[in-house]
């Protein structure tokens, strides 16, 4: 476990440590750009080739690419009653939370009959990407689809890799059905992102793409932005934990590993002013690592990007946390709510020793699609507003326009935009005749 001492004010030691991870990814832009262009030009034919090449699955575009109702019904039979109940409970919590983010369109009236407002309308079609591989993520289905459904999106399509057998993980299909996904495609990787962004003979073109993925998916999402909207450029998962003497070393170690098992590039960092926690947490991490099924992944993450940071006090720890701007921030301190207002940059904050981060991943209700790699400085979790577009409404009466005409003309002329000024003048002068 890496140990970083910032008690002398050297917070830069922590940022330098994190920069090592941020610069560690490989650039696959050229490869992904070729895939996107090929999908754009050749549609289904290119999609078929890439699916066979990268996923090992050969399908008939007329049928196999789209998951059928029969496949979904079969998935329900394969998922235990207990898991189905949990997915439904989580969906209800997520729905309840996101319902509170909704706001109606509005129009208000000022003097002289001026009416101003905002129309709020859902996007028409949204595409969500759900990774497969060794860790299928039905929770990601819920977190991406439910806010879209709450926002009023009618067409929610989902892309997920089919694997060599062409069979989608049943829990993913069940979660998609519960969350209100309207169509599911068996496709993955950069080719799936391109297919949703541009549309093909089979795949619907979308207005926005959300959801996590590997470096190829993330790069493709970045490159198609502008053709459609995207949620964010997601990096590897990360957790930052602030702990004081009230924290339990076993809890802290377990929480650090909960992120480390995601990805070899995941980062788990503990910041504390309690020196005795260093050895206790390090020993507990080592003990728990040996028992993990995903030990190889978690061990690489902890060795390369895990750290315990020694701070002077909680105030310095909070300062460091705000500089890092972590995806997940746990305040495992006895006076957690007193420090909440001091947190400026974090994707999600978990308060107290009995609010571990996995509650947010699966069940609590707030979205688990969060800004990573320091982007919490300027961006927010996925939410209902990501699926709503706003249109401004402006209505002036004759009297209101005449009262404002000279001011608008002066502004337009100051910018040397005479046609703008004339648009006002022609109405003002007509009334003078």
Catalytic residues: 327-328
CA distance to 315, 331, 393, per residue, from 9 (Å): 12, 21, 51
Count Cβ atoms within 10 A of the Cβ of residue 120 and give its class: 0-12 exposed, 13-18 middle, 19 or more buried.
middle
Kindly give the pairing relationship between strand 348-351 and strand 238-243: unpaired
CA distance to 151, 194, 389, per residue, from 59 (Å): 34, 18, 36
Gap between the Cα atoms of 85 and 89, Å rounded: 6
Sole residue written with tokens 């450029």: 233
Residues contacting 331, CB < 8 A, separation 6+: 242, 339, 340, 343, 349, 350, 351, 352
Gap between the Cα atoms of 216 and 323, Å rounded: 28
Give the up-direction half-sphere exposure of residue 365: CA atoms within 13 A in the CB hemisphere. 9
Whether the CB-CB separation of 173 and 75 falls below 8 Å is answered with: yes
Residues contacting 379, CB < 8 A, separation 6+: 232, 371
The radius of gyration computed from the CA coordinates of the chain, to the nearest angstrom, equals 26
Q: What are phi and psi of 24, to 5 degrees?
A: -85, -15
Gap between the Cα atoms of 295 and 237, Å rounded: 16
């Amino acid at each position: 476990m890496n140990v970083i001492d910032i008690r002398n004010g050297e917070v830069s030691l922590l940022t330098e440590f994190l920069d090592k991870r941020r610069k560690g990814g490989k650039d696959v832009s050229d490869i992904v750009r070729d895939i996107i262009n090929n999908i754009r030009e050749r549609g289904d034919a290119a999609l078929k080739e890439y699916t066979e090449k990268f996923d090992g699955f050969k399908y008939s575009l007329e049928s196999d690419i789209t998951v059928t109702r029969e496949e979904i019904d079969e998935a329900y039979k394969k998922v235990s009653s207990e898991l189905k109940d949990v997915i439904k409970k989580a969906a209800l919590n997520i729905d309840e939370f996101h319902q509170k983010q909704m706001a109606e369109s509005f129009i208000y009236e000022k003097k002289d009959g001026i009416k101003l407002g905002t129309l709020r309308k859902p996007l028409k079609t949204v595409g969500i990407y759900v990774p497969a591989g060794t860790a299928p993520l039905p929770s990601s289905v819920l977190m991406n689809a439910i806010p879209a459904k709450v926002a009023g999106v009618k067409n929610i399509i989902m892309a997920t890799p089919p694997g060599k057998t062409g069979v989608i993980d049943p829990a993913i299909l069940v979660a998609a059905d519960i969350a209100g996904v309207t169509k599911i495609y068996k496709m993955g990787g950069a080719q799936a992102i391109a297919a949703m962004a541009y549309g093909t003979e089979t795949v619907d073109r979308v207005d926005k793409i959300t959801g996590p993925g590997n470096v190829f998916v993330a790069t493709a999402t970045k490159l198609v932005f502008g053709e459609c909207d995207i949620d964010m450029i997601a990096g590897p998962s990360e957790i930052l934990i602030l702990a004081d003497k009230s924290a339990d070393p076993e809890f802290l170690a377990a929480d650090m590993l909960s992120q480390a098992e995601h990805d070899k590039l995941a980062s788990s960092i503990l910041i504390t002013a309690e020196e005795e926690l260093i050895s206790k947490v390090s020993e507990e991490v080592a003990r728990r690592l040996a028992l993990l099924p995903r030990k190889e992944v978690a061990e690489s993450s902890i060795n390369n990007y895990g750290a315990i940071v020694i701070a002077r006090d909680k105030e310095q720890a909070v300062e460091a946390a705000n500089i890092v701007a972590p995806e997940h921030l746990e305040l495992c301190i006895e006076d957690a709510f007193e420090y909440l207002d001091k947190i400026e940059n974090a994707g999600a904050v978990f308060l107290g020793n009995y609010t571990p981060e996995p509650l947010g991943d699966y069940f609590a209700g707030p979205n688990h699609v969060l800004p990573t790699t320091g982007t919490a400085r300027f961006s927010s979790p996925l939410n209902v507003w990501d699926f709503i577009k706003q249109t401004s409404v402006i209505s002036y009466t004759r009297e209101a326009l005449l009262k404002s005409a000279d001011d608008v003309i002066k502004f337009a002329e100051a910018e040397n935009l005479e046609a703008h000024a004339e648009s006002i003048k022609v109405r003002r002068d007509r009334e003078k005749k």
